[in-house]
Structure 1
Amino acid sequence: MLGGAGVLLGVAAAPAQAAEVAYATECIPPAISGLPPVQGTTKVEITAPAEAKVGDEVEVVWKFVQAASKNPNILDLEANTVQPTGTLKAAGAQTADIAMQGPRENPPIPKNTDMRLSDMKGKLKLTAPGEVSLTPGAYNINVNKPISTDTKCSPKETVKPAATIKVTDGSGSSGGTTGGQPTVVPTLPTSLPTGVPTSVPTGTAGPTPSESETGGDDGGTSTGGGTGGGDGGQTDFTGKEVQVPYECKTPIGDKEATSPVQINAKKDGGSFGLTVQFKKSVMDSPADIPKDSVKPSMEVALGGADKGTVHVEGPTNAEPIKSGDPIEIPDLKGTYKPGASGESTLSPGVLTIEALGTTTTCTPAKTEVSLTLDTSEQASGASGGGSAGGSAGGSAGGSSTDGGLAATGAEDQGSLKALGLVAGTALLLGGAVFTFMPGRRVR
């Protein structure tokens, strides 16, 4: 084989050799992901000239026959987003670390399929006669979308040389032999992320609270029991802060956490503008996050006289968020149009976070009423109209996600800091998965 596989530069090319080696490998996901180390098997083919002489600069090629694991069942990776780099160890007549790098070239890699890494190349200047063995070492996998992340993989056993170059002193004397080592039969790879990110946080998950301005004016408020019917002209109603135990379904497993949440309302005719706030929590972004990447929403559960849900949501982040900066999530807003007359309760319901193509859904383990309103039935309102869709059931306001009336109007960016995305950001081989960890209450 001449040319790309093994080229002897500066002299006539000698026949190339290609040999495989397999070794147990541990891949460390980026800290942002919170994922545990991945154990798998890497299978590599090294191609190099069989012979060369002192002073020659030779090119060697590292081909990934098998990566340590598959792309997990999280995100499809786009074409040309993955780039490997690594170190090839030279030993024997001379010792050196050969820097290897492959182009950012890969076909689309669907979820739960084998990783496809490009061939890496490097050059070695030969300095002494004898045999020079070539042994693959640690390597890194970088994914540049949606943000740049690295997964570091290293051997967990002594790796056998994959190829040997016979180096002469120019007179034909070397005393070396050529040939690679026999292939070691690899174990089956895991289906965990290779190079993880393949992204995105261990630890318990669930929304962390955030800091926000209280909704409503000072003109007459009621905590957890405001009335909107015979209210004597009251228009602003402040709910009480309730501790909501969330059970979250995330792309990397089930998580649980409790968050303090408050629902406020402002009466407008027969309807109410709702504002849902996640209370203060201290947290910074664990990585650079592009603009328009995070979209939160909730189905507020109705109970008491009324039934159904009210959809509230916040806008996506208008600007990129730099690593270390606070993540600011706006208040979630929507419009509640009553479908029944009487005392109606409002409780935090199912929370959804859409982030970079992934979805995390958190459902309250139990209902906690934050606000009670005195309501008057409106045409096509929650309980009786098609816009409500379904029934939340229960006088306490169940957590059904059926329905969803509501014109949302979440243009305002409140001062909410962090909806608990701190260690809840998982970046899996270029994908971002948002989960949550319990936040500490700050008072």
Structure 2
Amino acid sequence: MKTQRRASAALVALLLSGAGVAVAASPAQAAETTFKVRCVPPAGGGDPVEGETTARITAPATAKVGDEVDVSWETVKPASNNTDLMVIPKDSVQPTGWLTASDGGGEAKVVGEKKNPEIPKKAPMVMSVMKGKLKLTKAGKITVTPGKYEVAVTFPFGTFVTKCAPVGEVKGGAVIDVSGGGTGGTTGGSTTGGTTGSTTTGGSTTGSTTGGSTTGGSTSGGSTSGGSTTGGSGGQTDFPGKAVDVTYDCGAVVPNGIKTPVTISAKKNGGDYALTVKTAKGAMASPMQLPAGALKPSMDIKLGGADSGTVKVTGPANAEPIPSGAPVSLTDMTGTYKPGKSGKVTLTPDQLSIDVTMTPGSTPINVPCKATGSGVSLELDTTAQPGGSGSTTAGPSAGGSSATASGGLAETGAQDDGGIRALALIAGTIVLLGAAVFTFTPWRRLRGTR
């Protein structure tokens, strides 16, 4: 059964689109409907989640075919609460929804103002009333029903959009008794009635500028230190690499991407190589308090030349909490390379991943960042090892051989202007605006409170 409620005010006139002719409007009437929704967070924000929302739809009680009527969508009960991670600022939430008229009677986009009170941690989400116009194209009793909607939240570091759609059929809504006549042949039911500037995703196509795509690191031949000795216990054992600028595209999660110098160094251990990978030390401030264990990095090192595949290196999570406003750095990453082929092998920084865990025991949010520009940091003169493979990530193993390398050790400290420019955004943005912005109540809890 639909619940209908009379509004205290009446609409005085509606203007036909482009015509400038006023038509009489009946008093507005409202009806509420509750339905399930499935919401998809921004890229990198975690898996889709489900919740339940109640919408109050307002529309005139009567109209004629061809009329363009005012409709609105008020969120009476949001599908989510804010998380316990941070306060959502005042006037930063802007909703956009789509209302559908039954029996093919048209569709209207409704847009709310970016107007909301400050939303405390764990408090219900607050969204403004979405308003728009619906052009009526068919006679009869038309039910105006809520459908999909988007919620854009704007922070100083970007705007992020969560997209929601009904799960199953939505029943109920405001009913308009549409009489025949007028311009029955019109079919335009998709007028917007508002701007949608907030639906940008924070610039997800960033990081493709490859300022760090120089490959100077590959010209490392001839600068070998320690000679080319191949004795089982003698010769060079430490092989410092050179810093190469790497540009990472992390999608909408980090709007401006990441650009940082990366250095790969190796230490010979029998016939294997213990790798250490360093990035620039933090040149940005954390936007919020980060607990110990919040950030854990890993990286794929691409092999080239005589060998192929990748070697995974990982770093420990941050051991100490990171205060709000403090520099954010990735820990050094380590791994083991067991040569699968003999010859000169190049090592190039490739994909970077960061696991973000805000509370102990919770499922980490993984942030994948694709290297759109990189270069060779280290070249090794390898001897194949039994069981060796370019894609191995195994720990150290015994073997007897040696190698020579080229390339000089470069500084990767905070003085590098191109350090991890957006690492603070990784720590804050994804966690705040991924799945975390919408913390949904489980269905059984909803059923128990209804």
Range into which the TM-score falls when normalised by the shorter chain: 0.3 to 0.5
In terms of fraction of residues, the more helix-rich structure is 2
Q: TM-score, normalised by structure 2?
A: 0.47
Q: TM-score, normalised by structure 1?
A: 0.47
